[in-house]
A and B are shown apart, each in its own frame.
Chain A
Amino acid sequence: MDRAVSTTVSYVLSVAIAAMLVSGLLMAGSNFVTDRREQVARTELRVIGQQVATALERVDRLVVAGDGVDTARVNVTFPQHVTGSTYTIKIAESPQRVLVNMTDPDVAVEVHVDTSTGLTESSAGGGTVTIWYNGADLEVRNA
């Protein structure tokens, strides 16, 4: 026969141990998911950044080839959300690069570009993005 043993206490103890083990497992699981989400967001933003860079170089070729270019414009479509959040695409003048960042998770990606035409500081959100030549430089905006 068990002495000085209360069923309630042993019950509570086993539940508490089980709960601690389980919550440990859940925390590890959700950390894992957050990590993966950040990695995925980074990869996607990098892809978007490189596509914007390609489009910039494409418009640059069109501008350089003409004798007096009036219009040179390219539209590219990107997904509106990346892992459930919105993001911003920015182009920076010097050094020439494309910056894509989002706040949740906090990820920022930078892609270098090399164009003969200058770039103007401008930004656009996700969705359909237009890269165009404004007479002097290349600019980005939402279509």
Chain B
Amino acid sequence: MANLTRDRGQIILLAAFALALIFVSLALVVNSAIFSESLASQGGTTGATTALQVRHEAEVNVGEVIESANLHNWSSDSTLETAVKKGIENVSTQMARQQAATGALVSIAYNSDTDGVRIAQNSTSSSTFESADGAADYPVAQGVSPASGTGTRAFRINTTLGSLGSTNDTDFKVEVRDSTATGNTDTWRMNVWRPTGGEVRILVIKKSGGTVTSERCQYAVTDPVRIDVTGGTLDGKPCDALRTAPGGEDLSFASGAGSSYDIRFRNSSNIEGNFSMVVDDSATVPGTHVNSGPGGADSQPYETTALYSVEVTFRYDTADLNYETDIRVAPGEPDG
């Protein structure tokens, strides 16, 4: 018999070692698969969403700086500019401090501004929207031709139910007409009246390039009646007549009236209360109908220097994301 006792099974042993090596390398390969699966479930950071949220906050805050400067520092263009620059610096410092707690760097810097004119009437007693010289039909601003944007923003009206006309002949109208066109071709018109005791109706008719679109909205309201013409709300509720027609046409303020337009008030003895709007600097405000500065009687509209829009540079940086962009802030401009 051959002596096979000691060397039996050499090949099997070698094979076993080789298989063991193979399985170990398989384990390494599968391990990297597990790593990539955990990478997949991480879902990435929400960096971009936060960047856009902070950008929106910055836009809103700078908008409030502009409104505050227009209300308090309107004595001259340079006072307005200084006020806005300081306000933006404050906003930048505060937001930087807030965001630093979440590990992000924020900065907002003033770039440039566009001048405008604020036309308003502040009466606390009941006074109509008639002009300074008592006219019920008069132009409020002529030749509004902005280089960018819509040219009018933050047009808000506060009135009372009792003062509104009750038929659509005596209703208060805001008429926006193309300055260069003759006749009734490119116009946007808003009518406000009170068809029944507790309801206010707004009707908007737009004539542009031969097409006529109109839409109305009506709500039951109680005093004070608040209408945000450029924002498109009546008593805080959305008003389709000031936004989009059912067919999708844009009905926002001054749409369809061309690149240079005039704003007129008609039947302004049939509405009482106060209003405010900011138009681009290109507008001419007739001095006979609108006082220059709020020094005159409470019941008369006046105009002051104001800022129409401001351009700022917004920077947002985290460990993984860098974002720098220009933002044009014009609070209350119709979104259309």
Chain A positions near chain B (C-beta within 8 angstroms): 7, 11, 15, 18-19, 22, 25-26, 29-30, 32-33, 36-37, 40, 43-44, 47-48, 50-51, 54-55, 58-59, 61-62, 65-76, 78-79, 82-84
Give the shortest distance, in Å, between B7 (CB) and chain A (any CB).
10
Given A40-B30, A83-B29, does the pair A55, B44 have CB atoms closer than 8 Å? yes
B325, CB-defined interface residue at 8 Å? yes
Apart from A47-B39, A75-B320, A79-B35, what 8 extra A-B contacts exist at CB < 8 Å?
A7-B2, A47-B36, A61-B48, A62-B48, A70-B313, A70-B324, A71-B325, A73-B321
Tell me how many residues of B have a C-beta within 8 Å of chain A.
39
A sample of 21 cross-chain residue pairs with beta-carbon separation below 8 angstroms, ordered by A number, consists of A22-B11, A40-B32, A47-B39, A50-B40, A51-B40, A58-B47, A58-B48, A62-B48, A65-B52, A67-B326, A68-B325, A69-B323, A70-B326, A71-B322, A72-B323, A72-B324, A72-B325, A73-B323, A75-B320, A78-B39, A83-B29
Chain A residue numbers with a CB within 8 Å of B324 are: 69-72
Residues of B45-90 at the interface with A, using a CB-CB cut-off of 8 Å, are 47-48, 51-52, 55
For A72, the closest partner residue in chain B by CB is B323
CB within 8 Å for A40 and B33 given contacts A68-B326, A74-B320: yes
Q: Is B25 within 8 A of A33, CB to CB?
A: yes
Give the residue name and chain of the A residue nearest to B329 (CB). A67
Q: Which of B19, B320, B326 contacts A76 (CB 8 A)?
A: B320
Q: How many A-B residue pairs have CB under 8 A?
A: 118
Q: Is the interface of B mostly helix, strand, loop or mixed?
A: helix
CB-CB contacts below 8 Å: B2-50 with A:
2, 4, 11-12, 14-15, 18-19, 22-23, 25-26, 29-30, 32-33, 35-37, 39-40, 44, 47-48
Chain A contact residues: over half helix, strand or loop, or mixed?
helix
In this complex, what residue of A is CB-closest to B46? A58
Interface string of B304-336 (1 = CB under 8 A from A): 000000010100000111111111100000000
Q: Is the CB of A62 within 8 A of B320?
A: no
Chain A residues whose CB sits within 8 angstroms of the CB of B320 once the complex forms? 74-76
- B325 partner residues in chain A, CB cutoff 8 A: 62, 65-72
B:133-155 near A, CB below 8 Å = none
Complex formed: what's the CA distance from A13 to B319 in Å? 68
List of 7 A-B pairs having minimum Cβ-Cβ separation, nearest first: A66-B325, A22-B15, A44-B36, A58-B48, A68-B326, A40-B33, A71-B324
- Bound complex: CA of A62 vs CA of B318, how far in Å? 14
Give the chain A neighbours of B15 by CB distance below 8 A.
22, 25-26
Q: Is the CB of A29 within 8 A of B19?
A: yes
Chain A residues lying within 8 Å of B19, measured Cβ to Cβ, are 25-26, 29
Q: Is the CB of B22 within 8 A of A40?
A: no
Q: Which of A62, A65, A67, A82 contacts B32 (CB 8 A)?
A: A82
Residues of A within 8 A of B29 (CB): 33, 36-37, 40, 83-84
Residues of A close to B47: CB separation below 8 A: 58, 74
